[in-house]
Structure 1
Amino acid sequence: MLGTFSSVAPYLKFNPKYVITDNFVFKLHYRWSFIILLVATILVSSRQYFGEHIKCISDTIPAHVINTYCFFTPTFTLVRHLNNSALDKGIIFQPGIGPEQSQNEEIKRHAYYQWVPFVLFAQAILFYIPHILWKSFEGGRIKALVFGLRMVGLTQYIKNQSLQIGKLNLPSMEEAESRVKNIRRAMIDRMRINQSWGAQLVLTEILNFLNIFLQIYITNRFLGGAFYTLGVKVIQERWTDKMDALDVVFPKVTKCHFRKFGPSGSLQMHDTLCVMALNIINEKIYAILWFWYLFVLVMTICGMVWRLCTFLCYKNVRFTKFTFSHFAKSGRIDYQELAAVVEKCNFSNWMFLFFLRSNLSEFIFKRVIFHLASELPNPEKDNSINDFLDREHSAVAAGPSGLAPTSRLDDVDTPLLANRDCAKMD
């Protein structure tokens, strides 16, 4: 049985090289909801563990014929017999099962069981789509910058050579200096070139928000309007009545009419009972999904409120310091340096810094903030790289040769991993 779920195993493995480019709420959608729905799909498709989906009782019709016919023809229960009083008195032995008074008697058809694995798998894909879009928008930029720098705080004890410990790589001080330079340069480039990064993140989060409502609506329509209140009724009725909401929506025994021509050419109707063995699994799956969707919905709403707070307050240095210290990673950040950086950031740049903080050690991130504080462009004046270089060229006095030296954006005048007195760190 464990081999059946091997397709889910890659999503549960711990990966020390994993780079954080989203948040907990995002993971609830593309990871945990996806896994839950994928496991549910595998369960309802595994006949070897739970037997045939449907088995019908008939004295004159061959078993394989009646089983196949009643599987693709919706079975039904009688609404008149969906009551606890008749069940308690022994008038009926199963909810919805009893004699029919007329051909026009109200019935409740059950055809969903034919589509359960397909719908569950489609819902799993819907949960994963916003993640795919965000990975495409993000483009691996964070990973390219921070890969291998998870435990870079130890590099102050490594002089010239990198150290490999299992799957983790500890860069040397020289390599760390080069990586910080790349981060600084990428951050400055992003402030002038790409301003849509934050908007794309918010877009995918809104898609997650809309998707959870869509999933609840789809499930409710699929179950004939019974899903909205399913969890509440289960709590209220499961331990008190013989028949609860699960027995109504997922009956264990149903009726099926099979018609065929007799020897004389007259139409004969055979009334059969069908045992729905898989509904034991279906009811558990959808009961769990009701509570899971409720949890994901609440957390997604909280995530949207948090995103609105970050959009409105990202310019506030106290808010940024609190966010970077508690929601990204623990550690102290210099207030004045952080204020100088935040002043020059728009929302996209702020979010980029947040994810850098989530993936970098305190040792490296403090150095990044230290250098960005004096090197980030002013968003009100520095609108493009060319404008920046033009002002640099015009401000630099001509040398002895009469030519102004070429200023490069990548030039660093002070050591990258330096203290405030510009002394090299040992």
Structure 2
Amino acid sequence: MVFELFGSVKRLVKLDSVCIDNNVFRLHYKATVIFLVAFSLLVTSNQYFGDPIDCIQRDDIPTNLLDTYCCPIMQDKDKAEQIALLVQYLKANIRFHNSYFFYFVVCEVLNFVNVIIQMYLIDAFLGGAFSTYGLDVLKYTEMDQEARVDPMIAVFPRMTKCTFHRFGSSGDVQRHDALCILPLNIVNEKIYIFLWFWFVFLAIISGIILIYRLVIIFFPHLRYVTLRSRARLTDRNHLRLVMEVAKIGDWFLLYLLCKNMDGQHFRELMQEYSKAIVEDGSGKNLLKYNEKEGLTPTA
């Protein structure tokens, strides 16, 4: 059954309970892998779609021999103590997480580069027809029926002619012509048009993420805004105090913690962390600013 065919893919669908990346990453290493593995299983399962090629001829050439000749090689201790340990780590390593953030950004750049390379390689594999494949298909659907040429058939023909030579009983070379049907190309054309739109979508969303990272790097206030939007239960004064002394790597680590922690627990973490910063003297300048603005932190 088809469910048995895709049973090996179901392990890839399960999401980890702890998230240290983002949805775009998961589109790259989960969704894309699932699609590619599923499509690979699909096109290699001849019990559902038949053989990749079937040649029709009137001579006495064995069918298996002709099919093989005409189709060569087509064949991923309690809550308080835990918060205290986490606060101790954050305070001891404040401003030392920038490298982690920038390594993460490098990985996001590699995601974008990987999509472009994949599109280039598939384009080379299909003889330059993949780069505009999706656009050509969209144009085809809008053309007049009398004047249009199906680009999917041009890239993945469904019928072809094969000429086979062999020595006859007298030693002469005999020529045999056969009409070959390629039923698997009907599946291939649908797979590659889906891959074209999927890779274009990944490239666009990966590019948007890179622009977002640049904005986050050059506009520090947006870091507070993004963290505040996710940590709605947390006292904003605690967040401001922490963000005043934190570098971008510290913000990124806190953002990941906020994604993986209960809102109430993150609120307690920020309360204890801001208290530790005040006791350490790191937040004196911000405290003066807050008192001037009438925003005395409640540590």
Determine the structure 1 residue equivalent to 2:115: 212
Contact 1:58 1:66 in 2 (8 A): no
**Shift in Å, 1:334:** 2.5
Give 3-state SS (helix, strand or coil) of 1:72's partner. Answer: coil
**Amino acid corresponding to residue 55 of structure 2 in structure 1:** C
Establish whether residue 323 from structure 1 lines up as the match of residue 226 from structure 2. yes
Distance 1:187 1:256 in 2: 69
Contact 1:321 1:333 in 2 (8 A): no
**Amino acid corresponding to residue 25 of structure 2 in structure 1:** F
**Amino acid corresponding to residue 215 of structure 1 in structure 2:** Q
What does residue range 93-108 of structure 1 map to in structure 2 within 5 Å?
none
Distance 2:69 2:105 in 1: 49
- The counterpart of 2:181, out of the listed 252, 264, 275, is 275
What does residue range 5-404 of structure 1 map to in structure 2 within 5 Å?
5-13=6-14, 18-60=17-59, 61-72=61-72, 114=74, 175-191=78-94, 195-238=98-141, 240-241=144-145, 243-313=149-219, 315-316=220-221, 319-326=222-229, 329=230, 331-376=232-277
**Shift in Å, 1:27:** 1.2
**Amino acid corresponding to residue 41 of structure 1 in structure 2:** S
The structure with the largest alpha-carbon Rg is 1
**Shift in Å, 1:287:** 0.7
**Shift in Å, 1:258:** 0.7
Which protein has the bigger helix share? 2
How far does the alpha carbon of each residue in 1:83-137 deviate from its partner, in whole angstroms, 9 at most, with x for none?
xxxxxxxxxxxxxxxxxxxxxxxxxxxxxxx26xxxxxxxxxxxx6xxxxxxxxx
How far does the alpha carbon of each residue in 1:24-81 deviate from its partner, in whole angstroms, 9 at most, with x for none?
11111011111111111110111110011111112221111101111118xxxxxxxx
Q: Highest relative contact order (Cα 8 Å, sep 6+), 1 or 2?
A: 2
Distance 2:281 2:18 in 1: 29
How far does the alpha carbon of each residue in 1:196-249 deviate from its partner, in whole angstroms, 9 at most, with x for none?
211211111111010010011011011110001111111121475474000010
Contact 2:160 2:179 in 1 (8 A): yes
Gaps of 5+ in 1: 74-113, 116-127, 129-173, 380-418, 422-426
Contact 2:163 2:176 in 1 (8 A): yes
Distance 1:23 1:39 in 2: 23
Contact 2:228 2:236 in 1 (8 A): no
Determine the structure 2 residue equivalent to 1:410: none
Distance 1:68 1:211 in 2: 34
Residues 195 and 300 of structure 1: CA distance in aligned 2, closer, same or farther (over 3 Å): closer
Give 3-state SS (helix, strand or coil) of 1:254's partner. Answer: strand
Contact 2:49 2:184 in 1 (8 A): yes
**Shift in Å, 1:378:** 8.0
Distance 2:97 2:136 in 1: 51
Distance 1:50 1:59 in 2: 24
Distance 1:322 1:8 in 2: 39
Contact 2:19 2:256 in 1 (8 A): yes
Percent of aligned pairs with the same residue? 32
Residues 294 and 363 of structure 1: CA distance in aligned 2, closer, same or farther (over 3 Å): same
Moved more, 364-373 or 275-284: 364-373
Moved more, 336-345 or 282-291: 336-345
Distance 1:218 1:35 in 2: 19
Determine the structure 2 residue equivalent to 1:4: 5
What is the Cα-based RMSD across aligned positions, in Å? 2.3
Distance 2:160 2:92 in 1: 66
**Shift in Å, 1:194:** 5.2
Contact 2:231 2:267 in 1 (8 A): no
| Number of matched pairs | 278
**Shift in Å, 1:195:** 4.3
Contact 2:231 2:266 in 1 (8 A): no
**Amino acid corresponding to residue 70 of structure 2 in structure 1:** C
Contact 1:344 1:378 in 2 (8 A): no
Distance 2:141 2:168 in 1: 45
Contact 2:112 2:207 in 1 (8 A): yes
**Shift in Å, 1:303:** 0.7
Gaps of 5+ in 2: 283-296
Determine the structure 2 residue equivalent to 1:85: none
Give 3-state SS (helix, strand or coil) of 1:20's partner. Answer: coil
Contact 2:161 2:177 in 1 (8 A): yes
Give 3-state SS (helix, strand or coil) of 1:196's partner. Answer: helix
Moved more, 257-266 or 239-248: 239-248
Distance 2:195 2:92 in 1: 45
